[in-house]
Amino acid sequence: MSLTLSVLDQSPVRSGGTAFDAVEETVQLAQATEKLGYHRYWLAEHHGTEGLAGCSPEILIARVAAATKTMRIGSGGVMLSHYSPLKVAENFALLQTMYPGRIDLGVGRAPGGDYLTSVAMQYGSEIGVEYYPTKIIDLKAFLTGTTPANKALERVKVTPRPAVPPEIWLLGSSDESAKLAAMFGLPFAFAHFINPVGAAKILRGYTENFQPSDVLAHPKAAMCVGAICAETQAEADRLALSRGLWRVMLDKGALGPYPTPEEAAAYPYTEAERRTAEKSKRTAIIGDLLTVKAGLETMATDHGVEEMMVVTICHDFKARMRSYELIAEAFKLPQP
């Protein structure tokens, strides 16, 4: 099958590493995956955690786009419920002006952090998450010239205004975002690596209920999937030990630096924690080249998508790079 492969990067901070290292590794990984033939590279948004360095995808996009040449660079995504649609539109209009035809604006409604951090992010604003659909309409209007939800905003102009606006995507791990994407005629990216439950039904609902819009005539869906590919199944399983402990710590509200496999193996798991760790590994595709290739192809077919955004996190950055290399090799990606 013809499958487009892209990258979602959460800019993880390794145990023993720093946020500076994480940002440098993000840039290096983007450069490497561009050469390998991956289609787009998205940067995530997280707040209040020592384990993920990407608190501002807009800034990272500017850095990564400057370090690459042809790959599409975008947000995966901007947590729109925190922000003014106009400011987000200005940021991405400027990015598209700087890097014409290469910028994606993925938006989501998740908080990207704990409750108190979310409150701080919205400091001074009385507009709650229930206004998220309205913000999407206004954001799209500012970038494409369509009618905003609030008619009083029709005279507001985004400058600079690129000849072609950035590509707007809605992101989500539930059917709510899929319904909004279908209603507004926008592309949809499902976060399978966060919540695999009901993914096929949600994506099918998006396709069946899609309403053509001025920016998209037909449904366009992608799926973000966790994957770890290594030379052998045993090595992939060893690398995945870190993922299990990271998930356990996340459930405790202590998302610190990404642990080593040795730290994960030595951790004194309770029975419940061990089940959590095992479950986390089952939500990703973990194995050698052929195993991961077959897993991605099967998942794409079962969910009716033609683009998979691969999320690979390993403590060893070289192993992380190698995972993307092996996947590119398996799919014989055309290199630019």
Q: Is residue 248 part of a domain?
A: no
Identify whether 18 is part of a domain: yes
Average pLDDT score over residue span 82-111: 93
CA atoms within 13 A on the CB side of 40: 25
Identify the band that residue 202 occupies on the pLDDT scale cut at 50, 70 and 90.
Answer: very high
Question: Which pLDDT belongs to residue 266?
Answer: 97
Beta bridge mates, 188: 170, 221
Residues 6+ apart with CB under 8 A from 247: 276, 277, 279, 280
pLDDT reading at 123 higher than 70 = no
Asked whether residue 151 carries a pLDDT value surpassing 90, the answer given is no
Residue range(s) defining the domain that contains residue 107 = 4-229+287-331
Q: CA–CA distance from 162 to each of 47, 91, 184 (Å)? A: 30, 12, 22
Q: For 259-275, what is each residue's pLDDT tens digit?
A: 999 999 999 999 999 99
Better pLDDT: 130 or 221:
221
Nearest to 15 by CA among 247, 267, 246: 246
pLDDT in tens, 21-63: 999 999 999 999 999 999 999 999 998 889 999 999 999 999 9
Strand partners, 27: none
Per-residue pLDDT, 165: 96
Q: What is the pLDDT of residues 55-87, one digit of tens each?
A: 999 999 999 999 999 999 999 989 998 888 999
Q: Where residue 113 falls among pLDDT bands split at 50, 70, 90?
A: low
Average pLDDT, the chain: 93
Question: Which residue is it, tokens 């033609």?
Answer: 306
Lowest mean pLDDT among 31-35, 52-56, 88-92, 153-157: 153-157
pLDDT at 122 over 70: no
Q: Put residue 335 in one of left, alpha, beta given phi > 0 → left and psi -120 to 50 → alpha.
A: beta
Taking the C-alpha atoms of residue 71 and residue 236, their distance in angstroms, rounded to an integer, is: 27
Domain-located, residue 100? yes
Residue identified by tokens 């205004």 is: 161
What is the number of other CB atoms lying within 10 angstroms of the CB of residue 297? 15
What count of other Cβ atoms lies within 10 Å of the Cβ of residue 214?
Answer: 10
Structure token digits, residue 86: 């106009």
Q: Is residue 44 part of a domain?
A: yes
Segment of 111-115, 118-122, 131-135, 303-307 carrying the highest mean pLDDT = 303-307
Q: Which residues contact 271 (CB under 8 A, 6 or more apart)?
A: none
pLDDT at residue 282, rounded to an integer: 82
Q: What angle do CA 252, 108, 49 make, to 5 degrees?
A: 30
3-state secondary structure of 6: strand
pLDDT at 128 over 80: no
User: What pLDDT, in 10s, does the model give residues 277-287?
Assistant: 998 888 899 99
CATH number at residue 83: 3.20.20.30
Q: What is the mean pLDDT of residues 104-121?
A: 71
Residue 278 included in any domain: no
Mean pLDDT of 306-334: 97
pLDDT given at position 250: 87
Q: What is the pLDDT of residue 335?
A: 82
Q: Is residue 272 part of a domain?
A: no
Q: How many domains does the chain have?
A: 1
Does some domain include residue 235? no
**Residue 268 covered by a domain:** no
Over 70: is that where the pLDDT of 118 sits?
A: no
